[in-house]
């Protein structure tokens, strides 16, 4: 018999994209106290009445139920350098990150690191992610294998870097292409996994390597591409010196054939109007990483300008530049970044960008991001409050937006009760309430 599971709680998802600043958005679908029916790993219905005894029922009445979060940019090996003091991007890479990533040449480290990383995502309500491992083929291989074991939706690829990186962290064009082709053959389209051609950033790839990456993308449009763009001012100057023929940093990627509808570009702080138009025309998305941008002092992303240009924006933790794998922490940092620029980010805009919006931007709207029947049941159950101060604030909240906004600002991983991936529970908060 196929497994039938039903969850009751306050179901919240989106049927459209909420407009900027719209607190009473018709795009929000809130169904309090309803049953979410899951059969053979997929959502099949939402109903007010309890289903019959052929369903295993979990009554979470009074709790919030959301689609699993999507983190569109995060580095699995960088748990080892999260919270490193005192540097901006380029020194941070050289002093902390590159030395740590060398460890992932070791298959054992690659395997234990991948397990720690994915379990940490699940314990924070993230069920899908776009991930950088390291330059080592084995680091990508073990990450895919660990995601497959957990049935997670994961997009990743071996990092490409053939210059401006230390010994032990560089590949070359021929070897890198062979590694990519092997990994693509093994993992792209296997279960819930997809391959991303992974250019670390323009400074660490030769023009020949960028061209090779572009050829891979052109040969198979179902491949993703992930990289960093226009994060830090010294980095932008460096790219200008290295690629004088390009109009802009983003244009380096466009010229190499790396800008397309499956491209995920982290940061995009220092872009201009032409760059935003190019993002819109290509269908590429910016993975906005507010925690990282604050921590590394990179700058304030202009979400409104991206929105006005119709460029897709998703949300990302960018750990270890970011300081928290939690998408709740990411959303509240996104709110603060916009506040610094005199803008107001609604809870709807933030939540949408972490669920349905990122799913759509990745071309995965039919699989994840909402409670539409037919979607895979990547579902999280949350307490509205996990301690007295938040509980008091919830009592006083007037209206749904105020309540969800307070949850987003005050909540953390201790609010998370249960995470299901394709219907199967992969995380449950321990009985004593301490994760
Ligand atoms: N640019 C190139 N590599 C990295 C990285 O690992 N993290 C961040 N935040 N930016 C980068
Ligand atoms: Zn990054």
Peptide bond into 320 cis (omega under 30): yes
In angstroms, the CA 163 to CA 204 distance is 5
What element of type H or E holds 329?
A: helix 327-340
Ligand 1 nearest-atom number relative to CA 78? 6
Q: Is 198 in the pocket of ligand 1 (CB under 6 A)?
A: no
Q: Is 231 in the pocket of ligand 1 (CB under 6 A)?
A: yes
C-alpha distance from residue 383 to each of 220, 370, 378, 410, 429 (Å): 43, 19, 17, 11, 11
Phi and psi dihedrals of 376, rounded to 5?
Answer: -65, 145
Q: Identify the residue whose tokens are 């040449």.
A: 105
What is the number of other CB atoms lying within 10 angstroms of the CB of residue 211? 15
User: To test ligand 1's pocket by mutation, which of 77, 228, 264, 333 has the most ligand atoms within 8 angstroms of CB?
Assistant: 228
> Residue 86, class by beta-carbon neighbours within 10 Å (0-12 exposed, 13-18 middle, 19+ buried)?
exposed
User: For 157-305, where are the E strands, in sequence order?
Assistant: 159-160, 193-199, 224-229, 263-267, 285-288
Question: How confident is the prediction along the chain (435 residues), in pLDDT tens digits per residue?
Answer: 569 999 999 999 999 999 999 999 999 999 999 999 999 999 999 999 999 999 999 999 999 999 999 999 999 999 999 999 999 999 999 999 999 999 999 999 999 999 999 999 999 999 999 999 999 999 999 999 999 999 999 999 999 999 999 999 999 999 999 999 999 999 999 999 999 999 999 999 999 999 999 999 999 999 999 999 999 999 999 999 999 999 999 999 999 999 999 999 999 999 999 999 999 999 999 999 999 999 999 999 999 999 999 999 999 999 999 999 999 999 999 999 999 999 999 999 999 999 999 999 999 999 999 999 999 999 999 999 999 999 999 999 999 999 999 999 999 999 999 999 999 999 999 987 666
- Ligand 1 centre to CA of 320 (Å) is 9
In angstroms, the CA 181 to CA 1 distance is 39
Q: Is 195 in the pocket of ligand 1 (CB under 6 A)?
A: no
Ligand nearest to the CA of 265: 2
Ligand 1 nearest-atom number relative to CA 296? 9
Q: Is 101 in the pocket of ligand 1 (CB under 6 A)?
A: no
In angstroms, the CA 75 to CA 132 distance is 5
Q: Identify the residue whose tokens are 């993703």.
A: 224
In angstroms, the CA 345 to CA 418 distance is 27
- Ligand 2 centre to CA of 71 (Å) is 12
Residues 6 or more apart whose Cβ sits within 8 Å of residue 381 = 7, 9, 58, 60, 63, 64, 65, 416, 417, 418
In angstroms, the CA 435 to CA 433 distance is 6
Q: What is the pLDDT of residue 434?
A: 64
Q: What is the pLDDT of residue 432?
A: 74
What is the number of other CB atoms lying within 10 angstroms of the CB of residue 394? 16
Task: Region of 109 please: left (phi>0), alpha (psi -120 to 50) or beta.
Answer: alpha
- Ligand 2 centre to CA of 203 (Å) is 14
CA nearest to 47, candidates 1, 11, 3, 2: 11
What's the number of CA atoms in the CB half-sphere (13 Å) around residue 78?
26
User: For 68-115, where are the E strands, in sequence order?
Assistant: 69-75
In angstroms, the CA 402 to CA 396 distance is 9
Paired strand residues for 355: none
Q: Is 93 in the pocket of ligand 1 (CB under 6 A)?
A: yes
- Ligand 2 centre to CA of 53 (Å) is 47
> Residue 302, class by beta-carbon neighbours within 10 Å (0-12 exposed, 13-18 middle, 19+ buried)?
buried
CA nearest to 321, candidates 410, 200, 223: 200
The whole-model pTM stands at 0.98
Q: Is 200 in the pocket of ligand 1 (CB under 6 A)?
A: yes
User: To test ligand 1's pocket by mutation, which of 97, 226, 238 has the most ligand atoms within 8 angstroms of CB?
Assistant: 97
- Ligand 1 centre to CA of 353 (Å) is 21
- Determine how β-strand 424-428 pairs with β-strand 69-75: unpaired
CA nearest to 194, candidates 237, 131, 238, 280: 131
In angstroms, the CA 328 to CA 313 distance is 17
Residues 6 or more apart whose Cβ sits within 8 Å of residue 293 = 231, 267, 269, 299, 300, 301, 337
- Ligand 2 centre to CA of 394 (Å) is 34
What is the number of other CB atoms lying within 10 angstroms of the CB of residue 398? 7
User: To test ligand 1's pocket by mutation, which of 71, 73, 75, 269 has the most ligand atoms within 8 angstroms of CB?
Assistant: 75
- Ligand 1 centre to CA of 123 (Å) is 24
Q: Is 162 in the pocket of ligand 1 (CB under 6 A)?
A: no
- Ligand 2 centre to CA of 32 (Å) is 37
């Amino acid at each position: 018999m196929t497994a039938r599971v039903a969850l009751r709680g306050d179901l919240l998802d989106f049927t459209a994209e909420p407009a900027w600043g719209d607190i009473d958005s018709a795009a929000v679908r809130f169904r309090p106290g309803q049953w979410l029916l899951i059969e053979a790993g997929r959502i099949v219905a939402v109903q007010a009445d309890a289903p019959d005894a052929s369903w295993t029922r979990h009554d979470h009445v009074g709790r919030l139920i959301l689609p699993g979060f999507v983190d569109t940019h995060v580095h699995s090996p960088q748990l080892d350098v999260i919270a490193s003091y005192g540097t901006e991007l380029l020194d941070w890479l050289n002093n902390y990150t590159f030395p740590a990533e060398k460890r992932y040449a070791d298959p054992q480290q690659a395997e234990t690191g991948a397990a720690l990383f994915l379990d940490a995502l699940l314990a924070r309500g993230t069920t899908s992610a776009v991930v950088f491992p390291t330059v080592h083929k084995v680091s990508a291989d073990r990450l895919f294998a660990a995601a497959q074991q957990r049935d997670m939706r994961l997009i990743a690829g071996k990092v490409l870097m053939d210059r401006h990186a230390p010994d032990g962290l560089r590949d070359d064009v021929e070897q890198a292409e062979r590694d990519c082709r092997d990994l693509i053959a093994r993992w792209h389209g296997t279960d819930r996994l997809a391959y991303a051609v992974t250019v670390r950033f323009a400074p660490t790839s030769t023009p020949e390597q960028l061209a090779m990456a572009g050829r891979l993308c052109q040969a198979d449009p179902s491949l993703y591409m992930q990289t960093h763009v226009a994060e830090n001012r010294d980095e932008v100057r460096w790219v200008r010196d290295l690629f004088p023929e390009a109009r802009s940093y983003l244009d380096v990627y466009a010229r190499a054939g790396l800008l397309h509808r499956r491209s995920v570009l982290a940061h995009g702080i220092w872009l201009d109007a032409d760059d935003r138009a190019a993002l819109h025309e290509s269908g590429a998305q910016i993975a906005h990483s507010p925690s990282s941008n604050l921590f590394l002092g990179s700058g304030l992303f202009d979400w409104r300008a991206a929105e006005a240009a119709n460029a897709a924006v998703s949300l990302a933790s960018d750990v270890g530049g970011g300081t928290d794998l939690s998408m709740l922490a990411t959303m509240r940092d996104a709110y603060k970044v916009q506040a610094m620029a005199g803008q107001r980010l609604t809870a709807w805009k933030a939540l949408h960008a972490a669920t349905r919006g990122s799913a759509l931007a990745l071309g995965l709207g039919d699989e994840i991001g909402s409670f539409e029947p037919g979607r895979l049941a990547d579902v999280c159950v949350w307490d509205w409050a996990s301690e007295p101060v938040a509980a008091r604030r919830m009592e006083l909240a007037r209206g749904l937006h105020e309540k969800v906004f307070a949850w987003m600002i005050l909540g953390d991983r201790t609010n998370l009760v249960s995470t299901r991936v394709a219907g199967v529970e992969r995380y449950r908060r321990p009985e004593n309430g301490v994760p």
